[in-house]
Structure 1
Amino acid sequence: MNKRMFPGLLLALALVSGPVLAQEATPALYEAHVNVHDMASVQRGARIFFNYCAGCHSLQYMRYSRISHDLGLSEQEVMTNFDFNGVKFGDHAISSMPAADAAKWFGKAPPDLSLEVRAKGADWVYSYLKSFYLDPTRPVGWNNTVFANASMPNPLWELQGVQTAVYAPSKPGEDARVEKLDLSQPGMETPEQFDRTARDVTTFLTYVAEPNVYERERVGLWVLLYLVAFSLLAVFLKREYWKDIH
């Protein structure tokens, strides 16, 4: 074999095997099946988010007034059910937790979730919410099979209950691998009900990641209708102009 070809072959093998190894390391995700046009689901997800998640996580690109407009909720409904910081209707949805305190308690400040679904996908967010389990080796006592060594506890444990890990057999020197999660302590909701809860939160965050989705689709429909009408007009004009020639 030509010695000059050998480094090139090694590089090609690395490029091919790299994605394969990455796929093997990525845990299987649940399918979220979100539908941002299911307004009841978006509204339920908003209520759950602001009651269980907004204490730590912000939605810095969203205003309460925008949520009210898009979700068909009155100002009173939004400020009564979503505002726990004494903010104004036109303010952004910012967490009241100081970043310095959050970094001290959790090791880092909780991230803003405005674009979480766009960054990682709805299936990832949905699976993450369902995959917390008790882990006494972690500083906060929790871990996650989708995002290993996450620096946050399970925010929805009261609803979901407490899951414990069942580890797959491993050889000496190998890291323990979680094979499945067992519900060791039931929560306020059944597993089926919590599936809907996790899906509702994911649906709300999907809307937050692209709040102009409703306007975009409404305008897009009119644009398509205009293009169809213009195309028909262009065809008729062409036939009229060329009828004497043919």
Structure 2
Amino acid sequence: MKKLVVLLSFLLPSLVMAAGGSKFPLDHADIDRTDQASLQSGAKVFMNYCMGCHQTQYQRYQRTFEDLGIPLEMGQANLQFTGEKVGDYMKNAMPKESAAKWFGAAPPDLTLVARVRGADWLYTYLRTFYVDESRPFGVNNKVFPDVGMPHVLQELQGIPRETHEERMIDGEMKSQYVGIKSDGSGTLSPEEYDKAVLDLVNYLVYLGEPSRLQAESMGRWVLVFVLVLFVFVYLLKKEYWRDVH
């Protein structure tokens, strides 16, 4: 038993880091699973900018369209680009061997990424890419240092660069990191980009638990049923034990 406790004490820190731990402060992602407009927008961003490399192979197109209120014909016309059937799983055509050669490792499946990393981690990660010429793709990331992927949303955001300010620290003027700022060349304003990222994260959260809302709704009715049943069971118990007492 003692050996097991010692082993767990060594493993827990690594498990926490694997689940998305980060020294960089995370911004809160104010997601709303009931906002279909946000989910539809997030699905559009994902299909156009993420699906080329990342799969969500445990989710079907048809389930996504139905859950998000997207007519099947519209979804097929605007969110399916390689001739898949509406009942197919959401996979891409990138060979794993080639992906591993290009990126150093095959891009992971993202079906459960929100459950593993957390919405706040994803929201901050997608908003903290910055130019770093020393990296293979010319960018780095504050949340995931030495990240091995390009900034796929740069078309939307523009070219992001670190910004610093001279501040008095311990009696000396020092350059301090204060954030990341786009050069304005993107198709979206900073506020619109943050909203697009939030929508994308909202969609990824949905993918991790597509039946969450239905389960919560059913759970409330189950609790109501149990409370009503308790009343009848209690009255029945009193009737059975009436002569005994």
Unmatched tracts of structure 2, length 5 or more: 1-5, 167-174
Among 116, 138, 141, the alignment partner of 1:141 is 138
* Structure-to-structure mapping, 1:213-232, within 5 angstroms: 213-232=212-231
The answer to whether 1:73 aligns with 2:66 is no
Distance 1:231 1:71, change over 3 A: same
Q: Distance in 1 between matches of 2:141 and 2:165?
A: 16
The Cα shift of 1:145 comes to: 0.4
Q: Distance in 1 between matches of 2:193 and 2:93?
A: 27
Identity of aligned residues (%): 40
The number of equivalent residue pairs is 224
- TM-score, structure 2 as length reference: 0.82
Among 80, 86, 92, the alignment partner of 1:83 is 80
Unmatched tracts of structure 1, length 5 or more: 1-10, 170-175
The Cα shift of 1:180 comes to: 2.6
2:99 aligns with: 102
Q: Distance in 1 between matches of 2:208 and 2:118?
A: 10
Among 42, 45, 52, the alignment partner of 2:42 is 45
Q: Distance in 1 between matches of 2:92 and 2:164?
A: 36
- 8 Å contact from structure 1 (residues 103, 109) kept in 2: yes
Q: Helix, strand or coil: the match of 1:185?
A: coil
Q: Distance in 2 between matches of 1:128 and 1:186?
A: 20
Once the two structures are overlaid, the 10-residue window that deviates more, 59-68 or 231-240, is 231-240
1:187 aligns with: 186
Among 61, 64, 75, the alignment partner of 2:61 is 64
Once the two structures are overlaid, the 10-residue window that deviates more, 132-141 or 189-198, is 189-198
The Cα shift of 1:85 comes to: 1.4
1:175-225 Cα shifts (integer Å, max 9, x gaps): x99553222334211111111111100000001011121331232122112
Distance 1:206 1:227, change over 3 A: same
Q: Helix, strand or coil: the match of 1:164?
A: strand
Q: Helix, strand or coil: the match of 1:130?
A: coil
1:199 aligns with: 198
Q: Distance in 2 between matches of 1:118 and 1:198?
A: 17
1:8 aligns with: none
- 8 Å contact from structure 1 (residues 106, 140) kept in 2: no
Q: Distance in 1 between matches of 2:161 and 2:222?
A: 52
Q: Distance in 2 between matches of 1:200 and 1:238?
A: 52
- Which letter maps to 2:93? S
The answer to whether 1:152 aligns with 2:126 is no
